[in-house]
Structure formats: C-alpha cells, structure tokens
Amino acid sequence: LPIPKATESEVGKGRTYVSTQQSSILINNNIQNNEVRKNLAKLFVYEFHTNEQMAQFNSITGLLRPYAYTIGKETDFWKNMSTYAQSLYTLYTEDANTTLLFGQTKLSVSDLKYDLDDWTFVSRVGNNTYANPIKNFYQNGSLTAADYFKGLTAAQK
C-alpha cells in the first residue's frame, strides 16, 4: 500500500511511522482431530501471549510484539528496558502516526491486493519456490516443514 507522501507545504508538519512487524504461530495440522492436543496447543499459545509474558519479552529483548499489551512505567519490566527500547515502546503504543502493514489491521484488510508473499524465508523445494510458509503449507498438503527448512539453504545458493 502506498504511504501518503507529504506535499511541499506539509513537510515537517507530521509524519507516519511504518512497522513491518509480523508474527505467526504454526501448529502441526496432525492434531486437528485430537481435542486434548488442540486444547493444549491453545493453552500454550495463550500462555506466552499474556500481558505479563509480552511485557517480559519486550523487557528482555527490547523487541516489540505486534499485539496490544501494556508495560507500566512503574514496573520492573519498564525499569529493566534500555532507554532505546523504552522509546520504541512509547512510539509504538502512544503515537497515532504509527501504523502496521502486517496482520489484520484496517490498512491491510481494506486492500484487496494485500498479500503476505514478501517473506524473508524463501525456500526452494525441487522445482518450486515458496515465499509464504503459512499459505504454502495450507495449499500444499505434501510440503513438510523438513523440506521447507532444507529448501531455505537451497534458495540461497
């Protein structure tokens, strides 16, 4: 999607920050008929996406997650973050001019041509090149994770 370009008269009056953060969780499809495993997978994903876990991740790594979570400025999580990480978090959560280009945002959902085929992890398996593992696994039931990972090396040669 095009990012609005400032006209000469608008230069310096405002800005738009763009974040291309994305996050995906892949769960093996062989559990779809096993309710116990499905529920365990859901609980596992839920556990590391609680507000506390997201704040702890951000505090330790300085990396933001593209989800809604808060880090109180009086918490140890905040106090343990570098000044740079604090400024990124503040920009990401408090600046209305920050937009995400990935995920189910209004910006991505409203564009019918929006697609996530611009992945860093391009894989070559046989004569096929794959660029979107989620879509590729969904569309190709015979594609395995092992083949995809081996193909990462092949694609870089």
Q: What confidence tens digit (pLDDT) does each residue in 14-24 have?
A: 655 555 555 66
CB atoms within 10 A of CB 80: 12
Residue 141 — pLDDT band, cuts 50, 70, 90? confident
What's residue 21's pLDDT? Answer: 56
Question: Mean pLDDT throughout 106-134?
Answer: 68
Residue with tokens 């596992």: 44
CB atoms within 10 A of CB 116: 16
Question: Mean pLDDT throughout 151-157?
Answer: 82
What's residue 86's pLDDT? Answer: 94
DSSP string, 42-74: HHHHHHTTSHHHHHHHHHHH----SS-----TT
What's residue 2's pLDDT? Answer: 45
**Alpha-carbon distance 104 to 56, whole Å?**
24
Residue 27 — pLDDT band, cuts 50, 70, 90? confident
Look at strands 123-125 and 98-100 and give their pairing: unpaired
CB atoms within 10 A of CB 132: 18
Give helix 83-94 / helix 51-61 axis angle, nearest 10°: 140
Instruction: Look at the pTM and tell me if it is higher than 0.75.
Output: no
What's residue 152's pLDDT? Answer: 86
pLDDT in tens, 76-110: 999 999 999 998 888 888 876 665 555 545 544 45
Higher pLDDT, residue 120 or 61: 61
Residue 113 — pLDDT band, cuts 50, 70, 90? very low
CB 107 within 8 A of CB 99: yes
pLDDT at 124 over 70: yes
Dmax (CA) for the chain in angstroms is 61
